[in-house]
Amino acid sequence: MLRRLKIDPEFQSKIPPLTFEELNLLEANILEEGRILSPLIVWNGLIVDGHNRFAILKNHPEIEYTVLEKEFANRYEAIVWICKNQLGRRNLTPQQFKYLIGQRYEAEKQAHGGERKATDKICPLTSSHQTRASIAQEAKVSEGFVQNAAGYAKGVDAAEDAVPGTRAKILSGEVKPTVAELAAVSRAAPEERPALVEEICKPKKRAKSKNDEMKAPEAKAPEAGKQTELLPEASPELPSEPAVPAPVKIDNQQLREIAASRYHAKRLATGSDMLCEIEAAADNMKQRWEQTFQHYPDILTAPDNRAAVAKIAQSLTEYLKEVEERTL
């Protein structure tokens, strides 16, 4: 059965890649269990979910696994399902979220027959508006965000086609091109795109402020008798990385030891132990709120959104006040 399964590059490109550590941990967990708990989901022999598990299975064919067949009317429906599945199951970077929204929008338009013009006798209105509205409502973003995400996704894919490995750098946040830069790549002729992508991937130079100049320490001459260590110059080009890294070659015993090292003898936790949990939860809440405000500024400007945020904040304030009273 495993030999009959295949990876479709277009489907795989919609799956946010695992980090080196995440992939190693997944492999260790699978070997510890002796089987894969989540099934590989396929359509017509093509994997639509489980690409990383499939890669591990090819190195460990003795591991037990199951396959779940899905039915889709066409490739676009399969892509829509992949994007929705990823949007609902993983902690995504803002770049990954925007990319998946854009990919889902384009795929849903194609699944519904593509753009329908106002002169179409069967459907006098375009289907794109309904598609944008539906996605925006489900993802809790504006229709404008969905439209912009579509252009963003096209630019990312154009950059990937020109220089393989660029998509992973952009979606991980390693490279942060502007919307205008990505639009320029997608509009450019194919032969011009590699140079544009190379320029995008160059480290951005930050202009020094007066405060930086005041804080910068003066260079000191090395003391007599001491050697100075010369640091290597940074390379302007970063090596390309595959969309999904290949599993690291570690023998089964080493991987079992990695998995076993994560388990410790049980003991009762104390209040002192759990203070870090309270602090981490508070920091995480503040960070997630600020990220949301940054990427979706209309949440603080649209009247309905502002009222909803104020209501949530009031509820939290009341709860925190109650907690504070318990400590008095």
Higher pLDDT, 6 or 210: 6
Helix 128-139 crosses helix 94-111 at what angle (to 10 degrees)?
A: 140
Q: Is the pLDDT of residue 83 over 60?
A: yes
User: Does 291 lie in the same domain as 200?
Assistant: no
Q: Which domain holds residue 309?
A: 282-328
User: Does 190 lie in the same domain as 54?
Assistant: yes
Q: Does residue 269 sit within a domain?
A: no
User: Is residue 200 within 8 Å of 160, Cβ to Cβ?
Assistant: no
Domain boundary among 204, 223, 254: 204
* CA 300/CA 309 separation, integer angstroms: 8
User: Does 325 lie in the same domain as 182?
Assistant: no
* CA 92/CA 100 separation, integer angstroms: 10
Residue range 130-146, pLDDT digits in tens: 899 999 998 889 999 99
Query: Helix or strand or coil: residue 65?
Result: coil
Q: Is the pLDDT of residue 14 over 70?
A: yes
Domain boundary among 204, 221, 240: 204
Q: Does residue 58 sit within a domain?
A: yes
Q: Does residue 124 sit within a domain?
A: yes
pLDDT at 15: 87
Q: Amino acid identity, residue 12?
A: Q
Q: Does residue 257 sit within a domain?
A: no
Global pTM? 0.57
Q: Does residue 101 sit within a domain?
A: yes
Which bin fits 65, alpha (ψ -120 to 50), beta or left (φ > 0)?
beta
User: Does 62 lie in the same domain as 149?
Assistant: yes
Residue range 202-255, pLDDT digits in tens: 887 655 555 555 554 544 444 444 443 333 333 333 333 344 444 445 555 555
Domain boundary among 174, 204, 234: 204
Q: Does residue 247 sit within a domain?
A: no
Higher pLDDT, 90 or 212: 90
Higher pLDDT, 265 or 65: 65
Residue range 96-128, pLDDT digits in tens: 999 999 999 999 988 866 544 443 443 434 468
User: Does 177 lie in the same domain as 60?
Assistant: yes
Residue range 183-192, pLDDT digits in tens: 899 999 989 9
* CA 94/CA 145 separation, integer angstroms: 12
The tokens describing 252, both together, are 């089964």
User: Does 134 lie in the same domain as 7?
Assistant: yes
Residue range 35-69, pLDDT digits in tens: 888 899 999 999 999 998 998 888 888 888 999 99
Q: Which helix (H) or strand (E) holds 67?
A: strand 67-69
User: Does 306 lie in the same domain as 200?
Assistant: no
Higher pLDDT, 29 or 258: 29
pLDDT at 236: 38
Domain count, the chain: 2
> Which residues lie below 8 Å from residue 75, measured CB to CB, with a gap of 6+?
10
User: Does 146 lie in the same domain as 15?
Assistant: yes
